[in-house]
Amino acid sequence: MKTLKTAFLLTALTLLLLFIGQAFGGRNGMTLALGAAVVMNGVAYFYSDKIALMSSGARPTSREESPRLYAVMERLAAKANLPVPKLYLIPQAAPNAFATGRNPQHASVAVTQGLMELMDDEELEGVIAHELSHVRNYDILTSSIAATLAGAITWIAHIGRWGMMFGGMGGGRDRDRNGGGIAALLMLILAPLAALLLQLGISRQREYQADASGARMVGHPYGLVRALEKLGAYNQQIPMNISPTTSALCIVAPLTSRELFTSLFSTHPPLADRIARLQAMTIAPSR
């Protein structure tokens, strides 16, 4: 069901992109919108992992430096029949982790120093299983596509608004044909907001899926539940120096505030909801 929801949201994003492109420039505008999305997706596909690792200050870590991390990762990767991702350590006190990479063969997992110090073995196993689930489910690629589609919609809307400002609202026939300048302007304003909400919806669905898949990978949800509880508590106390784009990849969104509408515009579902779903899971014992 979560996969179907993600597919539906991605389709809605694509249709919104084509619609705004056609409304702005007809068939040529639709072609421009699709071309922009292809180019932006290509950049995200090949370089998003490097950008995320560099922006977070992550550095490669060795087996000698992080034996506990390697032991947990290798055990779970073997259990999930996945290649072992490249491992990175982020020298920050805020506990967090994220996975990146376009496919399991080019995946990387980065954890903060704070996470390694805070989590016991069972909790660390839950966090790593969550991140490996993102890798196995190709969530990084899906999120990159959603982000670039939303970015293309926002870019075209900005061009459209500038075009209307400098080109005027058009003649009477143009207004009749296009449904009116005011309606077109409202669409150019509201389309980026709709694209953002669709993108956030995709991100939240993938987080729920990774929680559930990670719990099944380990065989129980208890370590991940305790890890999320700790991450939620410490995240409110220790700021993390990380870009907004990379923060969307983290297991828990860093620098979360209690401001109004935070949950509406968050890339992550509410922690209480994630924990409740995990606690309600029934996992059949493996034979």
Helices 181-218 and 67-79, interaxial angle, to 10°?
100
Question: Which residues fall within 8 angstroms of residue 200, CB to CB, at 6 or more apart?
Answer: 265, 266, 267
Give the bridge partners for 60, in sequence order. Answer: 88
- Looking at the DSSP bridge assignments, the partners of residue 100 are 108
Number of Cβ atoms within 10 Å of the Cβ of 145: 21
Residue 131 among the catalytic residues = yes
Amino acid at 241: N
Q: One of 64, 117, 122, 131 is an active-site residue; which one?
A: 131
Active site residues: 131
